[in-house]
Amino acid sequence: MNFSSIPFLGILHEKISHWTLPLIRRKEIYSLKEKTKIIEQLNMLSSSPILFTNQKEKDIVAQITKETLMCNKNNITRTQAYYEFFTRNQEVHWSFLAHIVSRNGGYYMTDLKSDYLKDFLSESQLNRYFLFLERSNAFIFQDAFPQLLLYEHSKRIGKPLFHLLSAFHVSTFMQPFWNEFYLKKNSKGITVAMIINEQFMLEERVIKGIYDSTSLLQELPYKLQENLGFTTIFIPYKLSKKYRYRLSGKKVKDFELVKKRVELGKELYQILFEERYISETIRFAHNHPHTGSRSDYWDFLFTKLKNANEKLFSPTLESVWDDVAHKYPNKVDWFQQKVDVLSFFNDLPEVTNYDLTLVALRHYLLYSALDNISES
């Protein structure tokens, strides 16, 4: 594809072709001693009743429950809540990773209402895909955000409160990791533990759970979206303030396989928190509040406004989707099934080929073609 024939793409400044970012090397998550200790604690875990030691702890649980419900309104409020928590607790890397992934979840949702996709799916398919994305986003938030707030309360009062995790139906798996993080602030360890927990929880409660989303992930339209790149996770970054944002990230493959999702999460974490890029990505999040429109990161190609000249319409989420009220009836603890997850803690993986700017531009040209077909 000859991008030079499209004048407005030249404002990226850098050469689009032959752009290679440095390899991101493997990183140790835990030392052998630390890992052995955590394994011992995991082997001793058993489900336990909620134990409040005083009225203050009951009040904390009530406060966290209320705040989680308020912030779990839709993809916009969840994404913002993750970011605001990160600004207060920057040692909790997972909250910023969740912010970026949640942004992409919003893009998928609005893609379904964009001119370049909506005419290729039936109304029932559009609604079904949206509900799958929305439920996944909401269930992860409902499980994860109370953990984040419980950590923040623990910092505030000066003692760990993670015996209260069961009050929010969080897996017993997380307790030793939060206790270890409270003491040692190992950001890599708690991030990987959260990635594992949320994906196995999602598997149990959503994908294999009462909504039985397994068949959806095998259907042709979903596979079509996956193969056309509609499920790629983009991370805005740049090496210099004078340039526009480029995009790094990874393509989601085999989403239906929980172990693939965990490995993807670890790769995305490596990319996002690479020292050379993280400060500009944080600056992006601060300066560009999430709306669900792809114009948030490339406003020279996408627009929130219908019928804008030479730009593709990518609507804001709240303009095209109503809020959904969720119920969370499935409270099964996935870890009680004795899932073997220890191999995930061996290392953070080596990552290559993670600049996706060229991929994103190809997607844009594909969207433009689909948009023209739709008009015809």
Q: Write out pLDDT tens, residues 300-351.
A: 999 999 876 778 999 999 999 999 999 988 788 999 877 789 899 999 999 9
pLDDT at 256 over 80: no
User: Is residue 82 predicted with pLDDT exceeding 80?
Assistant: yes
Residue 93's pLDDT is what?
98
Residue 310 has phi, psi (to 5 degrees) of 60, 15
- For residue 348, report the phi and psi dihedrals to the nearest 5 degrees: -80, 135
* Number of compact structural domains in the chain: 1
In order of 61, 78, 98, the CA distances from 69 in angstroms are: 12, 10, 17
Q: Is 14 within the bounds of a domain? A: no
**155-187: pLDDT as tens digits:** 999 999 999 999 999 999 999 999 999 999 999
The predicted pLDDT at position 376 comes to 62
**pLDDT value at position 309?**
72
pLDDT class of 214 with cuts at 50, 70, 90: low
Local confidence band at 74 (pLDDT 50, 70, 90 cut-offs): very high
pLDDT of residue 246: 95
More confident residue, 368 or 229: 368
Give the pLDDT score at 20: 76
Would 10 be classed as within a structural domain?
no
Lowest mean pLDDT among 54-58, 133-137, 141-145, 240-244: 240-244
Q: Is residue 264 part of a domain?
A: yes
189 vs 311: which has the higher pLDDT: 189
Give pLDDT, residue 248: 97
| pLDDT attached to residue 146 | 98
Tell me, what's the pLDDT at 2? 44
Q: Is there a contact between 112 and 118 (Cβ–Cβ < 8 Å)? A: yes
State the pLDDT confidence band at 91, using cuts at 50, 70 and 90: very high
16, part of any domain: no
Is residue 48 pLDDT above 90, yes or no? no
Share of the chain above pLDDT 90, in %: 63
192 within 8 A of 29, measured Cβ to Cβ? yes
pLDDT band at 120 (very low <50, low <70, confident <90, very high): confident
Q: Residue 211: its pLDDT value, please?
A: 52
Residue 353 is assigned to a structural domain of this protein: yes
Cβ partners under 8 Å of residue 77, min gap 6: 70, 71
Q: If you search the block for the tokens 């109503």, which residue do you land on?
A: 322
Binned at pLDDT 50, 70 and 90, residue 1 comes out as: very low
Highest mean pLDDT among 53-57, 84-88, 297-301: 84-88
What is the pLDDT, as a whole number, of residue 4? 45
153, 49 Cβ separation under 8 angstroms = no
Mean pLDDT of the chain: 87
Q: Determine the pLDDT at residue 25.
A: 96
Whether residue 13 is contained in a domain is answered as: no
pTM of the full predicted structure? 0.92
Q: At what angle do helices 123-157 and 220-228 cross, to 10 degrees?
A: 60
Q: What span, in angstroms and rounded, lies between the C-alpha atoms of 102 and 147? A: 17
Parent domain of 42: 24-375
pLDDT of 46 reads: 74
**Which pLDDT score, from 0 to 100, does residue 9 have?**
53
**Vertex 345: Cα angle to 344 and 347 (nearest 5):** 100
Q: What is the DSSP string of 47-109?
A: -------SHHHHHHHHHHHHHHHHH-SSHHHHHHHHHHHHHH-TT-HHHHHHHHHHHHHHHHH
Residue 228 in any domain: the answer is yes
What's the pLDDT at 11?
A: 44
Give per-residue pLDDT as tens, 215-249.
Answer: 665 664 555 555 555 578 999 999 877 788 999 99
What does the pLDDT read at residue 260? Answer: 92
